[in-house]
Structure formats: C-alpha cells, structure tokens
Structure 1
Amino acid sequence: MQLSLLPYWNNGLNHVIITFADRWSDTNPPSQSIGMASILATNLHTTTYRPHFDISIPLPRLYLDMPPEVGSLKPFDMKYFLTFKGTRYLSHEGNFRSSATFRSMHNGVDVIVATTCKHETNDKLLRWQPWRGSKCDKDQAIFDSYEFVELLNSTFGLVPAGRSPASYRMLEVLSVGTIPVLIADNYVRPFDSLIQWQYCLLQFSTNEMHLILPTLRTMPRLEVEARQRSCQKVFDKFFKDDNVLLNSVIRSLKDRFVERLHNLVEQHMI
C-alpha cells in the first residue's frame, strides 16, 4: 500500500513510520514516499539519516541469567579482555566476519572470537558454493568450547554488524557492564540525538579492524574505567527494560518536535 493513500496522510506530517529488521535487504520506505514522516528504525544509515527527525532504535537483547557479580565487576576484574560469539556469515551481508582480520583477533587466552557457520542462510549457500565454508570446522571447534554467558564476563565486547548495521549484541554487552566495540559502516547508533556515545563505546569501520586490539591494549586504565561507568549510565537511563526503552523513544520524539519547532521559529524570525 502506498503511504500517500492513507487517511489523513497530509504528506506524512505528524506520522512516524516504524521499521524493525535485522537484514540490510530489509530497507526503510523510499525517501520520496515518506514526506514529512519520521522513520523509527533499527537500520538507519548515516547517508540517509535526518538528525533530530529520524530515530534509530536498537535490536532487542536476550534476557540472560547472569551471575549477579558480573554486572558489578570493574573492567580489569573481568575474566576476558575482548570477546565475541556469534554467526560467521558467508554471503555478502556481514561477510567481514569471515575475514582473517576479524577471526585472527582470537588468541584463546584473553581474547575470544568464536564463530559458527551454522545458519540457515549459510546452509543454503554452501549447497552450491561449498568452497565458501573454508575453515568452518576449525571455527566450530572454537565456538563449541565457550558458553555465550561466560564470554559476557569481559572488559570489552565486540559488536560487529551482521546481516544489518545493527547487532543484537549491543544491548547484551551493555547490560553486563561490558564496553561495546562496534564494527559497522554507515550506521546510526540508537538514540544518537540523546546519547553521547563517544564517552562509552568505541566504533571501527570494517576496514579498520586491524586497529581494534592495538587501540584497546594501549588505552589508559582510567579511560577504560570511565567508559565503563558511562556505558552503565547509558544502559540504565535508556535501555534497562521495556518501560525505559519506551520512554527513550518518547524522549526522542519530543526532541524531534522541539527541534522542528525551533527551526520554524528561526525561519519566521528571518
């Protein structure tokens, strides 16, 4: 259905279009079709994002039974330094997870990068392009050696884009006092107009992955501790539970309205 055919559409004025997806191919409506409507979505891209107008929201997290002490540990009291456990995508969406640069961060001691090729999309692809499964068996052995919950006991947590620029692991990492390390291109972080993310997480593009470990290893202890405190405040204030998350959406909508009103006043004054 064309949005313009909706009752009271009025070129999208006072409308919010919600899209929820975890794949690059699941896109938002074409920009020429949305008029003055806001986009509330999990897959907003920096190239098309309209600050103070569109709103980026996170993919939901798993509610895991974590040992109670994990969320209260200081960064360097964590069991691991940097971890990730998840799917290694073999097609074009998120395929940088299959790169040697990403997987070679694993050292089996304090840095764990455990990936699996077992996924419905991968299974279909491997039926007619089996060569794409190179080293999947080796990766699976590492994957099977670590429990997901165990790896959340980490100072830093890798949050690589998968089949979309967003990742389910973002909120999972934040919820346990771990500092997120995003690997994403062209990605608008959740509630970007409300949160000063630069004091919490770190973000690298897919062609900067070789810089991740050197950057983290040389980060001063005081900065790491400050980032963890900032991340905990961000999680508690914006993402802690469904009610908090809903209030964050409402705050973002209010921010959008105030910004638009401010712009209209300035235009009138001019």
Structure 2
Amino acid sequence: MQAKKRYILVIICCAFLGYCYLGGYRLKGLQALFRIRVLKNPDNLPCYHQLHYQYAESTDSSNQAQALPDDDLFTAPTYESRFRDVAPQPSFQRGGVIRRVTDEGGAMFKSCRMETCFDFSKCNDKNFYVYVYPPEPLNSLGAPPPISQNYQKIISAIQESRYYTTDPEQACLFVLGIDTLDRDSLSEDFVRNVPSRLQRLPHWNNGRNHIIFNLYSGTWPDYNENGLGFDPGQAILAKASMSIQSLRPGFDVSIPLFHKQFPLRGGNTGFVISNNFPANKKYLLAFKGKRYDYETLLQNSTFCLVPRGRRLGSFRFLEVLQAGCIPVLLSNSWVLPFQSKIDWKQAAIWADERLLLQNAWGYTSKWTNYYSIVLTGAAFYHRYYNYLYTNWLSYLLLKTVQQSSNCEDILMNLLVSHVTRKPPIKVTQRKGYKDRESGRSPWNDPDHFIQRQSCLNTFAAVFGYMPLLRSNLRLDPVLYRDSVSNLRKKYRQIELVGS
C-alpha cells in the first residue's frame, strides 16, 4: 500500500513539472518577449483601425498635451490624425529585394514588379504557354493529394484552353498542382506541408514566373490577409479579398470570391439591362431578409449592400452583379477584382464601413465601475481651461450650451480630455455630487438626462470623435465611510462629524 502511494505521488509530481515546463515556462517567455517589444517602442502599439487601414501621410504623435492653434479648435490634431503615425513593418535586405516579415515567419517580396520578379525571356506574343504541375504521387496509403472542387475547376479551365502545354521548357507561366485556395488551418480543404512541397518542384526557382491562386488566407480570430502559411517568394498572387496595402501594383491580381457551387462554365443568365435609367425596380436598397426570396429580392432592387465577410471579400459581390443590382461596397481598402482592367467607379458605389453601427453616446449617473465625466460643481481644474473654453471653442458648441442653458460642465470635460488626452480622477468618497442650492433638483427630471445626452452627441459630432476617456480609478486618502478597518484611516473621528 505504501509503495502504491509513492508511485502515485511520483506520477503527480512528474505531471506537475511537465505542466510547469510546457505551460507556465513558455507563457512566461512569451510575456517577457512581448514586454521587450512594447518597451522598445510603446507608442507604436496597434489600434483597431490600424489593423485594416494605413494612411499615406504621417504626422507627429499627439498622445501628449499639445498647444491649441491660433485660428480654431478644429484645426488641432483630431482623433484620426493622432494615430496616423503607423509604425513601419520590420524589414531587412536580402538578395537585393526588400522583404517584409509576415506573421508566419516567411517573407513576401513586397517590392516585386513585372520588371524585377518576372522572366520575360520565356514569353513572346506568339507562344504564350502555361504549364500545370502534375499531381503529386500517391502517399504511403495510396491516397491522392487533396484538391478542392474550386481548384480542380481552375486547373481544368487552364488545361482546356489553347495556352496549356505539357512541356515545361516552353512554358512562360507555371501553375501549382498544390491546392493553395484555402489557407485557413481550421478548414477541411487546408493542405499541409506546402513549404516543403514547393521546394520539391523542379522549376520553382523561388516562385519566379509562377502564379499562386488563393481565396482564403489566415484563420480565426483575425483572419490575417498575409497568413498563407508559406513564402510565395517572387510568385504572382491571384488572390481574393486583397487589400490596397498588400497588393503589388502591376504584379498581383485581385480575383473575386466564389463559392464551391460556382459553375466551371455557363451558369444562369444575368439580369443586367442596358439603358434602364431611371430605374423602375420595386426596391431602392436591399441587403437580405426572411420574408422574401433572396435572389428575387436582389433582382428587384436598384442598390444592394455588399459588406465584408470574415475577410474583405464576399460572395455577395458576384451575386449582386449577376442580379443586375448596383453594389454598395462596405469594405474599406478592398481591391476589387481585376481593378486594373475594369473601371469599377462606373459600376459600384463605395461607402465607409467605419460609419456603420455608430450608436448614440449615452449619458447616465448610475454607479458603475468606471466614469468619464466629473461635474464641474465638484471638480478642481486649472483656470487655463476656462480661457480655452471662452476663447478657443467653436461658436457652434457655445451656442448649443446657451440654447439649452445646460451642458456647460459636459463641454468642459470634453475640452479638457481633448487637450490632455487623459481621463478625470475622482477624489474622496464614493457619494455622488448633489446640487443643494436649488429647491427642486434637476436630476430627478427625466428630460434633464435626455437633454444632456443630446448635448453629448452634438458635441461629439462637432469634435469629430469622442474626446472623453474612461477611468475606474478613485483616490481617497481620507477613506471617508469606506468599509475598511478604522486603524487604516488617518482621520478616524471625521465620520462622527454631523452624524
């Protein structure tokens, strides 16, 4: 019995040590690495909009307090301009070509163009041939390599064309026999060990004169656009959901996103009608619905919303075009299919997806674990902000306060947060501020909160963003009426005053 207990104890100790090594030790190493990266450049932490957009110009960071301009408040750096200083992605020089490191550890030849990464000596106007690599040999179990339906359709379309050749020495362009359409590691069509398979190709040559087709890249939760899982090298990317930041102009090709049921050739007849202006369709704008048939709804609508999916592209784009509906695109930075050959400005409408789901700002005095406003009746602030309030604020803001005879404390909080980019600090006890001078408190009137909420949304619209910053910090050196030991309080008799 004693031996059995010792064996059980040894097994438990080994399991615990293994958990510490595989779990805690590596987690600690990742946290240390992250801290090192942040400490090197803490100002370049990515924000939400930096994950999708990059700006051409850059300005000085305004995370610190800045002097206001001499003409108007609204020429000061706004919320958008504060984040335009996007840190460049790490790059290094190798082989005479600038390479940008991807999340998978590979590198994409970001500066590739047809003049630098394509060999025209194998191509001419009379003999333009495309070679498709044969399927890989059967594995040890006798199973063929996995190829999805969509990729088989692409291969079949090339092999049935007049450009196809079986002689690689005559080929100008090479197409992989490896299915690279779906690079989502959670997908059933995901093909593994692609890097090693590419290196075994006899004519790979670091991807020169090769074309790689891809519909889905990255995986949950961020669906990274460059998450192919392998280095495409100097190969041309024919890719769906391609952004302006990733496209190599004149080299890569943006293709539409199509589903597995998309026919190889033919298909249903489209419903585009020429010279049908003014449009006489039943619905002006459509998205989707349960009361009507989806295809019928698209065909009877003049405009159709095309939002992004998990990635920039969407199946809806081709469906809308096939239905003869004008697409209203809600996918910022998306390079539309074959944009270099098709003038989409004459066939589509762009809208900024950042304007979607912009709910109104709420104003409440409920006791929560955070706050963003401290009323001026219970606040201490520098008189400098009174000067800014009087001399620098827009006339529209001051007029809103005068018409409502209210909301001046909200506007002061927005002004201070806009200048300092810091939240307020609550000091002393938890009890809320009460106006004891007036007989009937306006805080008991529901219309009072509605009016202040309207002011808050008006101010945010004029500022162009919400300057207020949230905080959950409370500093109370007195510990007045706090549920802590009386020995920790410096002024132990203060709670007896007025009781």
Higher RCO structure (Cα 8 Å, ≥6 apart): 1
More helix by proportion, 1 or 2? Answer: 1
